[in-house]
């Protein structure tokens, strides 16, 4: 049996695949935002301990402790900023997926233009989980040394997915 349907063209399959990948990013961001808002204290503890640098190994002494920020007010400001940034990622990823869905039957140029909010969302993911967690938290605050509050493996996993999604979605392969 042969199905003669344009919906199974390679162009449509690739376009839907890109939309779905972006929706997975929006879903992750939505769940993260929901968790951070409804269970504020759990990840706030993470931010507080990383910024305070209070779980570094004893053998370091005071080598990098001058970098610590111990102000609870600054901890809350940083955490609220993270939540707001995650919310921005969620909203731009949803907008990007909707724009791509609306342009799914359009010409290649229009579909490619519809990717812009998705590309913004994925770039922000890389900013948050690479710059925020791997550069600032892990390297500046020494998070990688903590046995208890080390988010480096999770940040690495997220950055890997987000960067691959960014590359995949950005590619013009439906001409």
Q: What is the pLDDT of residues 16-32, one digit of tens each?
A: 999 999 999 999 999 99
Helix locations, 103-115, DSSP H? 108-113
- The whole-model pTM stands at 0.90
pLDDT greater than 80 at residue 147: yes
Distances 120 to 78, 92, 114, 153 between C-alpha atoms, Å: 21, 7, 11, 24
Q: How many CB atoms lie within 10 A of CB 1?
A: 2
CA 142 to chain centroid: 21
Q: How far is CA 100 from CA 26, 106, 113, in A?
A: 14, 10, 9
pLDDT at 175 over 70: no
Task: Tell me what pLDDT residue 8 has.
Answer: 79
Token pair 């993911």 is found at 125
Query: What is the per-residue pLDDT across 77-136, written as a single tens digit (0 to 9) for each?
Result: 999 999 999 999 999 999 999 999 999 999 999 999 999 999 999 999 999 999 999 999
The DSSP annotation for 158-169 comes to HHHHHHHHHHHH
User: Tens of pLDDT along 50-79?
Assistant: 999 988 777 666 778 889 999 999 999 999
156 membership: H or E segment, kind and range:
helix 152-170
- What is the residue-averaged pLDDT of the chain? 92
- Say what the pLDDT of residue 145 is: 87
139-144 — which CB contacts under 8 Å span 24+ positions?
Answer: 140/67, 141/50, 141/51, 141/53, 141/67, 141/68, 142/53, 142/56, 142/60, 142/64, 142/67, 143/50
Contact call for residues 116 and 171 (beta carbons, < 8 A): no
């Amino acid at each position: 049996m042969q199905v003669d349907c344009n919906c199974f063209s390679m162009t449509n399959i690739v376009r839907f695949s890109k939309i779905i990948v972006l929706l997975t990013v929006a879903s992750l961001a939505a769940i993260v935002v929901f968790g951070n808002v409804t269970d504020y204290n759990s990840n706030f503890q993470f931010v507080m301990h990383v910024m305070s640098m209070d779980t570094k190994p004893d053998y370091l002494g005071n080598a990098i402790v001058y970098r610590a920020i111990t102000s609870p007010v600054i901890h809350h400001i940083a955490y609220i900023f993270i939540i707001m940034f995650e919310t921005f990622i969620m909203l731009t990823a949803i907008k990007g997926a909707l724009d791509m869905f609306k342009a799914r039957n359009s010409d290649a140029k229009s579909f490619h233009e519809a990717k812009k909010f998705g590309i913004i969302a994925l770039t922000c993911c890389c900013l948050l989980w690479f710059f925020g967690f791997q550069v600032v938290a892990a390297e500046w605050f020494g998070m990688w040394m903590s046995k208890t509050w080390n988010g480096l493996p999770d940040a690495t996993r997220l950055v890997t997915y987000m960067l691959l999604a960014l590359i995949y979605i950005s590619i013009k392969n439906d001409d």
